[in-house]
Amino acid sequence: MEVGIDSFAAAFTKDSRAVSPSDRLNDLLDEIVYADKVGLDLFGVGEHHRAEFLDSAPTVILGAAAARTSRIRLSSAVTVLSAADPVRVFEDFATLDLISRGRAALVAGRGSFVDAFPLYGLKLEDYSALFAEKLELLLRIRDNEHVKWSGKFRPALTGQGVYPRPVQNPLPIWVGVGGTPESFLRAGKLGLPLAVAIIGGETADFKPLIDLYYKAGKLAGHPPERLKVGLHSLGYIAPTTDEAADDYFPGYQTAFAEVGKERGWLPPTREDFDAQRGPEGALIIGDPDEVVEKIIRHSKAIGGISRITFQMNAASLPHSKLIRAIDLLGKKVSPALREQLVNNDEGPS
């Protein structure tokens, strides 16, 4: 099982609003460098187009990360493909792949926020159609140097070549999904690996959707090894579970209260939070032992996962605590997971 981090580049953290945007982005780069150093498998950078974030151009950030790392896979988490031109997206990621010598990956999604839609003149009513068409084109470009294609949302290609070509062939493209059954079906039909974001509730609840993914994949004739599931979870690690929970809660509450204003959620209470930290809850927060157990429990509950990525930003933790968590993830969680999976054969085939 691969272990990694998915990160936003938030413009602020709760405790350190004085940190400049330059320092913030360079802290993020230091976190990626540290994750590489302690042997984590991947680092993903999110994409947002709003004042609270600094990550509207994740491939520029990942380009910088490529220059300072040597082993870690560098991914988007997620690329808001609906709002992008797949030609530009491929150009950006192929360039990243060349610079990083074959370490680029892309998680294509529709995005959680919808700011990109008005910014790029798109209609929310086309939310699904945009993603379907653009994903199809992106795959065509990945699989063919010269592309003949026409669609509704982008001018036709009449055999133009798209360059540069990446080191990896094919360039890894995952589909990032939330809870929409259509998204699981699409990823299965296309035979693409699935990155499931679970940010609340009980992880086991996603089992039927993930089964749908496998079923659609098999029905479409894709070999089992192409169908794999990665779990993107809100999570955090500290030396003790109490410390982890106490570190995480205040920022988590603030963040969900903020987003809740736009989406009609109530701010979470500490009781809600503690329930979500329970054995079946989606939040993977604790000391390294608890986190390892929980990942294995979640993996079993949803039919086996190929990778787990931690999204630690929701809590707006300062850089020093993120570095400590990355340290524990690389030095304790990742080796323990590998060992337990070998001993118990819990991994996916």
Alpha carbons 287 and 132: distance in angstroms, whole number: 40
Q: Are 133 and 153 in contact (CB under 8 A)?
A: yes
Q: Which of 2, 12, 37, 91 binds a copy of itself (CB under 8 A)?
A: 91
Burial code of 111-144, b = ≥16 C-beta within 10 A, e = fewer? bbbbbbbeeeebeeeeeeebbbbbbebbbbbbee
Residue 124 in contact with a copy of itself, rule: CB under 8 A: no
16 to 35: interface string for a copy of itself, x by CB under 8 A: -----xx--xx--x------
Report the residue number, 242 or 258, with the smaller CB distance to a copy of itself: 258
Report the residue number, 92 or 287, with the smaller CB distance to a copy of itself: 92
In which residue are the tokens 């060349």 written? 98
Q: Considering the complex, what minimum distance in angstroms separates the CB of residue 48 from a copy of itself?
A: 8
Alpha carbons 284 and 291: distance in angstroms, whole number: 6
Q: How many helices (H) and strands (E) would you count in the chain? A: 12, 12
Within positions 240 to 299, which residues make up the interface with a copy of itself, using CB under 8 A?
none
Q: 217 — phi, psi (to 5°)? A: -65, -45
Q: Considering the complex, what minimum distance in angstroms separates the CB of residue 140 from a copy of itself?
A: 14
Report the residue number, 125 or 271, with the smaller CB distance to a copy of itself: 125
Report the residue number, 21 or 278, with the smaller CB distance to a copy of itself: 21
Within positions 145 to 174, which residues make up the interface with a copy of itself, using CB under 8 A?
154-158, 160-165, 167
Cβ neighbours for 243, distance < 8 A, ≥ 6 positions apart: none
Residue 81 in contact with a copy of itself, rule: CB under 8 A: no
| 166 closest CA partner among 100, 108, 107 | 100
| Piece in contact with a copy of itself (CB under 8 A), picked from 91-99, 253-261, 262-270, 332-340 | 91-99
Q: Considering the complex, what minimum distance in angstroms separates the CB of residue 164 from a copy of itself?
A: 4
Residue 303, Cβ density class (10 Å: 0-12 exposed, 13-18 middle, ≥19 buried): middle
94 to 113: interface string for a copy of itself, x by CB under 8 A: xxx-xx-xx-----------
Alpha carbons 5 and 307: distance in angstroms, whole number: 10
| Piece in contact with a copy of itself (CB under 8 A), picked from 62-70, 174-182, 186-194, 274-282 | 62-70
Q: Considering the complex, what minimum distance in angstroms separates the CB of residue 43 from a copy of itself?
A: 14
Q: 10 — phi, psi (to 5°)? A: -75, 145
| Piece in contact with a copy of itself (CB under 8 A), picked from 46-54, 130-138, 258-266, 310-318 | 46-54
Q: Considering the complex, what minimum distance in angstroms separates the CB of residue 133 from a copy of itself?
A: 14
> Structure tokens of 32?
């990626």
Alpha carbons 71 and 33: distance in angstroms, whole number: 10
Residue type for 336, please? A
Contacting positions for a copy of itself (CB under 8 A): 11, 21-22, 25-26, 29, 49-51, 53-57, 59-68, 85, 87-88, 91-92, 94-96, 98-99, 101-102, 115, 118-122, 154-158, 160-165, 167
